[in-house]
Amino acid sequence: MANVTVVGAQWGDEGKGKIVDWLSERADIVVRFQGGHNAGHTLVIGNQVYKLSLLPSGVVRRGKLSVIGNGVVVDPWALTAEIEGLRKQGVAISPETLKVAENAALILPFHGEIDRLREAARGDAKIGTTGRGIGPAYEDKVARRAIRLCDLAEPATLERKLDELLLHHNALRRGLGHPEIDRAALRKAMDEIAPKVLPFAAPVWERLDEARRAGKRILFEGAQGTMLDVDHGTYPFVTSSNTAAAFAAVGSGMGPSAIGYVLGITKAYTTRVGSGPFPTELNDSIGKTLGERGKEFGTVTGRPRRCGWFDAVMVRQAIRVGGIRGIALTKLDVLDGFDELKVCTGYRCGGETVQHFPAGMARQAEVTPVYETMSGWQASTKGARSWADLPAEAVKYIRRIEELIAAPVALLSTSPERDDTILVHDPFAD
């Protein structure tokens, strides 16, 4: 049986939630493999809207196993709150339907505090983090001082590791002129949350290996986007984890061969939240229209997203770096009614034309887009469920994007509704 890995091919917010939910009907297990509760996915199913941050998008489907892998940093309080919120919406979640990697690193309350303190100290040079502690939690993980989910079950281990962790963070807080952490209050909070989250803890790598051997279909769900990857994105304006598809193996405890078909999600235009370079950004009425039509506000933060024309150079780079075999093109309907559309086909930088995003910050800041202009369409594409329902100019736009990014459109989404999807190639068929 084929597995599928879904990743964003832009700067996140590409509409992965709906696509993963749609694909999860064909899957047995849905796995989150990186990021934290800074990721936001909105699912629209009938009259019900589900907003997810940490839980896999497949959690709303009955009979599916949801997994949070070891590559995710887990805020146990956010996790329990999200579970309770979904239960109130009628979604059944239990240790039988949700497994969390026992070796996942935890986000603790002071991680968010230090995240926000450092961001404020940067002033105009801020990165644009969500302030939820994801970056500091990953820092502790790499520095080998993190508290992991399994540590909550071992009081003696937790005592020792807390001392080491607070030794570092209290020194950092003193340097920023902030009070030290109340150790007793922190330990009490951890003791209280432990029985709520430990029932979900499991060696998920073992469960996933058993599922693979049994021929089960596994869907790996990425968060953010490839151009926010800590190695391959627009550093330092990136997230704190590897968002490229290859990390699905590391972040879940499976071998590279398990990744399967890699599907990249991309909007028919481009958006970005927070700071960082954005060559095709539109600070005019067109950019405002894209934002209003696309309801471009962050699921997690509520921040308005920056909007611009489709950047084929960036998406092509994401496809190459991520091993993406096909794309799911979303929000095509947002472009309805424009007389003309523009697509970025190259960059001008330092007096030359380049076909990739430069790595250096100064070079990134110099980049200006080279545009190709195409005719728009006046008919509506919203809710289309077949190619025959699409205006001819919309089809031309899609075909030109395929040429420029050197990858085919496997799925086409024409509204937030689950069933408003045109299937060109079933990723699970490979």
Cis bond before residue 56 (omega within 30° of 0): no
Catalytic residue among 21, 37, 41, 420: 41
Pairing of strands 261-267, 4-8: parallel
**What is the distance between the alpha carbons of residues 311 and 378, in angstroms, rounded to a whole number?**
22
Tokens 């984890």 sit on residue = 241
Q: Is 311 a catalytic residue?
A: no
**What is the distance between the alpha carbons of residues 229 and 240, in angstroms, rounded to a whole number?**
8
Contact 36, 54 (CB under 8 A): yes
**What is the distance between the alpha carbons of residues 416 and 224, in angstroms, rounded to a whole number?**
18
Cα 176 to Cα 94, 134, 141: the distances in Å are: 41, 19, 22
Going by the DSSP 8-state scheme, the letter that residue 181 receives in this structure is P
Tokens 């910050």 sit on residue = 361
Contact 64, 28 (CB under 8 A): yes
Return the H-helix or E-strand segment holding 372: strand 368-375
* Closest CA relative to residue 7, chosen from 355, 282, 239, 212: 239
Contact 29, 54 (CB under 8 A): no
Tokens 């071998």 sit on residue = 255
Contacts of 298 (CB under 8 A, 6+ apart): 13, 40, 273, 304, 305
For every residue of 309-355, DSSP letters joined together read -EEHHHHHHHHHHHT--EEEEE-GGGGTT-SEEEEEEEEEETTEEES
Estimate to the nearest angstrom the gap between the alpha carbon of 119 and the chain centroid. Answer: 21
Q: Tell me the residue type at 384.
A: A
* Closest CA relative to residue 33, chosen from 16, 54, 12: 54
Contact 198, 218 (CB under 8 A): no
Is residue 64 classed as helix, strand or coil in its secondary structure? Answer: coil
Q: Is 28 a catalytic residue?
A: no
Estimate to the nearest angstrom the gap between the alpha carbon of 383 and the chain centroid. Answer: 25
Contact 100, 247 (CB under 8 A): no
Catalytic residue among 13, 75, 115, 229: 13
**What is the distance between the alpha carbons of residues 323 and 244, in angstroms, rounded to a whole number?**
9
Q: Which residues are part of the catalytic machinery? A: 13, 41
